[in-house]
């Protein structure tokens, strides 16, 4: 899948190992790199439910977003993109072939 980022700061942290370690620490940075690679090689959001990382759909204030486990209570939050490039908050998760990484967050 294509992976885009919600902000330049997040993109910098997710594309630079040094910046990821600086912002999130060594353990979380390493798991972040693994999760991003899993996003890139997946054909669709539905594929992510087959891999480790406990992909799960969120509810409440975060409805429409999905999360992948990182370390402890921290999660990589992302939203599928519809074919027209808009955020896909409802619908068939298997049809999305691109995602927006929204943030690294402890929503617990």
What is the span of the domain harbouring residue 41? Answer: 2-105
Checking if the pLDDT of 96 tops 90, the result is no
Q: Give the chain's domain count.
A: 1
For tokens 């899948």, what's the residue? 1
The Cα–Cα gap between 101 and 65 comes to: 10
Per-residue confidence (pLDDT) for residue 5, from 0 to 100 = 97
**How many angstroms separate the Cα of 3 from the Cα of each of 41, 77, 108?**
10, 12, 25
For a pLDDT cut of 70, what percent of the chain falls above it? 92
Q: How confident is residue 81, by pLDDT bands cut at 50, 70 and 90?
A: confident
Over residues 70-75, mean pLDDT: 92
CATH of the domain at 35: 3.30.2310.20
Q: Model-level pTM?
A: 0.89
Per-residue confidence (pLDDT) for residue 19, from 0 to 100 = 96
Per-residue confidence (pLDDT) for residue 13, from 0 to 100 = 94
Average pLDDT, the chain: 89
């Amino acid at each position: 899948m294509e992976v885009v980022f919600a902000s330049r700061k997040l993109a910098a942290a997710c594309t630079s190992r040094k910046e990821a370690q600086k912002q999130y620490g060594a353990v979380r940075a390493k798991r972040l790199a693994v999760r991003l690679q899993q996003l890139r090689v997946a054909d669709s959001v539905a594929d992510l439910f087959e891999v480790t990382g406990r992909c799960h759909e969120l509810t409440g204030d975060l409805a429409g977003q999905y999360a992948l486990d990182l370390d402890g209570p921290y999660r990589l939050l992302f939203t599928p993109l519809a074919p027209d490039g808009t955020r896909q908050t409802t619908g068939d998760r298997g049809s999305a072939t691109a995602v927006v990484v929204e943030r690294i967050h402890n929503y617990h």
